[in-house]
Chains A and B, each alone.
Chain A
Amino acid sequence: MKTTILKVKNLTKTFSGGKFSLRRVKKEKITAVDDISFQISEGEIVGLLGPNGAGKTTTIQMILGLITPTSGSISVFGLDLKMHRKRILKEVNFSSTYTHLPWNLTVWENLYVQALLYGIDNPKLKVTEIIEVFSLIGKKDKEVNELSSGWTTRLNMAKAFLNNPRFILFDEPTASLDPESAEGVRQEIRRVRRKFQTTILFTSHNMAEVEQICDRVVFLDKGKIIARDTPEGLAKRIKISRIEMMIDDGLKRLQRLIRENLWQIKVSGRFTTVEIAEKEIPKFLNLLSERGISYREISIEKPTLEDFFLLTAKKQKH
């Protein structure tokens, strides 16, 4: 049985926002995280997903000890975070697009300072090692303000692996990157994870990225966990596939066919998209030939994690 690295139990965070009026101060309570429980085993990469305001960042910040929970408990490596914060943080690290290392320190200086903060033995040697692992040698004497966002992210990643952490939290690590740099970071995460066998909790708005990297996903909305599964498992919950094709002849017949079977159709320029249950695809293709509807450039898109995300977000709005 694998060791449990993180155990979150009945975690709740309520913020009381004050609205000032001349007569009185009205206190509004906002529940950012609402009684959530989940756990992560050693070596897993778990994605924490959800739309904006779902409570992902608040959850991560509570796990890092930056926000005190209103109720519930967090234990890391079997230790209670409240009681053993320092001991836990020695073996945890964190990287986010939204935090920065001091901009007027060089790459080497920043990593050296971080090594001291984590109390790493022989910090200079460790910094040299990590600079090699993340191919930062050519940039080691550059100040952070001289680095591109791609190199800054790479530095943040190097910082995140500096203390050989057993557990890393990544908060949208590729958010500010172009697709090529983002792919580089994903490869880096996979490579370094294989090398160090690190457990990772990962947030991202890029669903393809999550499908690529994560073993499992915890889906939050309005502070609650609404689903948890593998990325494929969540995608499979969407039973609708999309068939996109170019109709050469018989668009009106196709529209009638769709109406009869209560399917959905969208016509956009030369392309027609039909939304249909996966098991009905053979029937649909047969009906097309029976009714003499001719088409070309057909493609069938299976549901993805993004579809699950969009559908859930849509449902929650209604």
Chain B
Amino acid sequence: MEAINWSGVKGIIVRHLFTWRRDLDRVVDAFWWATVDLIFWGLTSKYIEQYNTGIDIVAVFIGGIIFWSVIIGSQREINMPLLDEAWNRNLINLFTTPVSIIEFVLATLVLGLSKLTVTMSFLSLLAFILYKYNIFDNGFFLLPAFANLILTGWAVGFFINGLILRYGYKIQSFAWALLFVIYPFSAVIYPVSILPPWAQGIARFVPPSYVFENMRSVISVGRFDINQLIAAFILNIIYLILAILFLKAMYAKALQLGKLIKLN
């Protein structure tokens, strides 16, 4: 195994930082849709709150939106660098340098985390200003919850990257929709218990469902079950390893079939 080319990792990061500086699309990606969601669901929850449901509906909705944005953001930031290189017809230039797919993965992880931090800080501040929702009321729960959600987003992101490398642009629509396949089983707003029994079975294998269940528990009784979050973490690690192995296999297949050239 050849040593990691850290300068190459830095090169990929710097390349995308240069792009972010002057590309409005990236700013829209980071802030616009999450803000729209936050305003829409915030107002909806304010409306439902009038009917005295007995639970802090604003916290459940706003928390759900912010937490779900973590998954979407981390997934998107894994996919965007690859698509950006393909759209710029720069994939060949990139992969004819001494940079491997693993270094590309490392760079996208750093890029994703930094952009997510900025997006989440902005959303949290906006939620506080608009709805007096303080995300830090969740206390220590935030740390394992965010870690789990980020890992889920990364696993889905790497799986999608593998599909794009292997099948090209024709898979794009399916790839973008993939995250929303797990959405109903993640119990973002509603509890897992209202899902039909077969769906509850699936939800057990969907790590975000544990995070959202515990988020509601923190909001209503101020407690969370660390064992459930550890179970989610183990599932996430398994999915992430599988997704990276899938990506490596699809990269090898793309080289075998000449798909990298076609994607470029």
Contacts and interface: CB of A to CB of B under 8 A. Distances in A.
B23 interface: yes
Given A104-B22, A113-B11, 16 more contacts: A65-B255, A66-B255, A66-B261, A68-B256, A94-B92, A96-B92, A99-B89, A100-B89, A100-B93, A101-B88, A102-B90, A104-B23, A109-B15, A109-B18, A116-B11, A117-B12
Interface in A70-99: 84-87, 89-90, 92-94, 96, 98-99
Given A102-B19, A112-B14, A86 B258 contact: no
A66 B7 contact: no
A263 interface: no
A119 interface: yes
Contact of B264 (A65, A68, A99): A99
A288 interface: no
Interface string B4-32: 01011011101100110011000000000
Interface of B: 2, 5, 7-8, 10-12, 14-15, 18-19, 22-23, 84-85, 88-90, 92-100, 252, 255-258, 260-261, 264
A103 B15 contact: no
Pick the 9 closest A-B CB pairs, nearest first.
Answer: A116-B11, A117-B11, A117-B97, A119-B7, A86-B98, A113-B15, A89-B98, A100-B89, A99-B92
Nearest to A100: B89
A118 B98 contact: yes
A85 B2 contact: yes
A94 B92 CA distance: 9
A310 interface: no
Contact of A113 (B2, B5, B14): B14
A222 B153 CA distance: 46
Given A100-B89, A102-B90, A116 B10 contact: yes
B79 to A, nearest CB: 17
Nearest to B92: A99
A117 B7 contact: yes
Max chain B Cβ within 10 angstroms of own Cβ: one of A85, A109, A115, A117: A117
B96 A102 contact: no
B141 to A, nearest CB: 39
